[in-house]
Amino acid sequence: MAMHTVVAAAAALALCLVATAATAGAGAHPPAPAPVPAHDIASCLVSNGVTNFSLPASKSFKPILDSSLRYLRFDVPSVGKPAAIVLPASQRELQRAVLCARSSSLAIRVRSGGHSYEGLSYTSENHVPFVVIDLANLNQVRVDPASATVWAESGATLGQLYHALRLVPVPGTITVFDIDRRGPADLIAGLIHKWQYVGPHLPDEFYISTRIYFKPKSTNGGNLTMSFTGQVLGPKHLALSVLNKAYPELRLAESELSEVSWVESAAKFAGLFSVADLTSRQIGVGEYAKRKSDYVQAPISEQDMVKVARYMTAAPTEGSVSHAASWGQRYFLHNFDRLVRAKSKIDPLNVFNNAQSIPPSH
């Protein structure tokens, strides 16, 4: 069974195409090479006082490697595994881990949340031997309410950040909704077309995102399902009056709205059972999926939206990552040269690299 989804977020007019495949690692990778001996990096780490690491022979290795792996298509034997996973607990340990990886001739894969669509934080291209430096323990979040600023270390989860952000003033009660609308392609295309004009122009207190689902023909009766997720920093009556005026086609009913606290809404949007789950790193399981995000620069026409729907029902199952230079120039446009200059200055030897990273100028 395959399900295809269009996701669009109001604030950024982002369009994501998602294809979820039921088969594991279908046609993905050539066989993995023999594992690289890990003793070099292990002895280097120990002699530098870094003890929190795991080697492939250890029982802890797989659970740690899988701990933030989101896409199960990378959890197959044919995908090369790191020579070690290091979990530095301080900046000093982090520096030592980088130096040990360098002296052991291992490529470095830095992992923060592990959500990379392409598994870039825990795999390497062409079976280059590598080490994962996992920043899960560098997860401090410091909030300064006076300046309304937050410093978050890279290993902090969004849940930890949301907990900390309770210090930032938001109304005690906010309104959320998560609703489905079902219908033929024309109706759904009309709804999403209108949404493109409504979403970005709502007051700042409003957020509304949408997805279109293409469920298997046998269960959808020829219809599409469009889901809307909304959050309004205010009570129900405000949400209802503004949205019904700006977007009457949505036919929003009061019974579809819930009033909750802001942090409850964060847990709800993340699909968690409780607010306490926000600080857990181990919630949920990965999925066999392939995702791609892009941004539209102008609203998509109603006719084209129908075409997108039809394209998605054709079940694309393959994607590719272009090489950084051509990809980077297209993606970052006039910023690309500036990023290359920064990269060349900060990391001229390209120590921190992956298939999509900015290359240094030489």
Ligand X SMILES: Cc1cc2nc3c(=O)[nH]c(=O)nc-3n(C[C@H](O)[C@H](O)[C@H](O)COP(=O)(O)OP(=O)(O)OC[C@H]3O[C@@H](n4cnc5c(N)ncnc54)[C@H](O)[C@@H]3O)c2cc1C
**Residue 113 in 3-state DSSP?**
coil
Closest contact distance (angstroms) between CB of 236 and ligand X is 26
Q: Which of 4, 109, 211, 268 binds ligand X (CB under 6 A)?
A: 109
- Confirm or reject binding of residue 350 to ligand X (CB under 6 A): no
Closest contact distance (angstroms) between CB of 208 and ligand X is 14
**DSSP per position, 52-93:** -EE-TTSTTHHHHHHTT--BGGGSSTTS---SEEE--SSHHH
| Radius of gyration of the chain measured on its C-alpha atoms | 23
Considering only residues 192 to 211 of the shown chain, the ones binding ligand X according to CB under 6 A are none
Q: Which of 5, 54, 121, 229 binds ligand X (CB under 6 A)?
A: 121
Q: Which of 80, 82, 88, 114 binds ligand X (CB under 6 A)?
A: 114
Q: Which of 176, 267, 354, 358 binds ligand X (CB under 6 A)?
A: 354
Strand order in the sheet with 224-232: 258-260, 174-183, 224-232, 206-214, 3-9, 14-20, 289-295
Q: Which of 25, 35, 56, 113 binds ligand X (CB under 6 A)?
A: 113
Q: x/- contact string, 57-96, with ligand X (CB under 6 A)?
A: -------------x--------------------------
Closest contact distance (angstroms) between CB of 195 and ligand X is 17
- Confirm or reject binding of residue 115 to ligand X (CB under 6 A): yes
Residues in the chain: 362
Considering only residues 122 to 141 of the shown chain, the ones binding ligand X according to CB under 6 A are 135
113 versus 171: smaller Cβ distance to ligand X: 113
Nearest to 355 by CA among 99, 80, 119: 119
- Residue nearest to ligand X as judged by C-beta position: 113
Q: How far is CA 94 from CA 53, 79, 169, 242, in A?
A: 12, 25, 34, 50
Nearest to 84 by CA among 36, 34, 49: 36
94 versus 188: smaller Cβ distance to ligand X: 94
Q: Which of 5, 54, 104, 112 binds ligand X (CB under 6 A)?
A: 112
Exposure of 70 in the CB half-sphere (CA atoms within 13 A): 16
Residue 68 CB neighbours (<10 A): 21
Q: Which of 6, 64, 85, 110 binds ligand X (CB under 6 A)?
A: 110
CB 287 within 8 A of CB 70: yes
- The residues binding ligand X (CB under 6 A) are 70, 109-117, 120-121, 135, 154, 352, 354
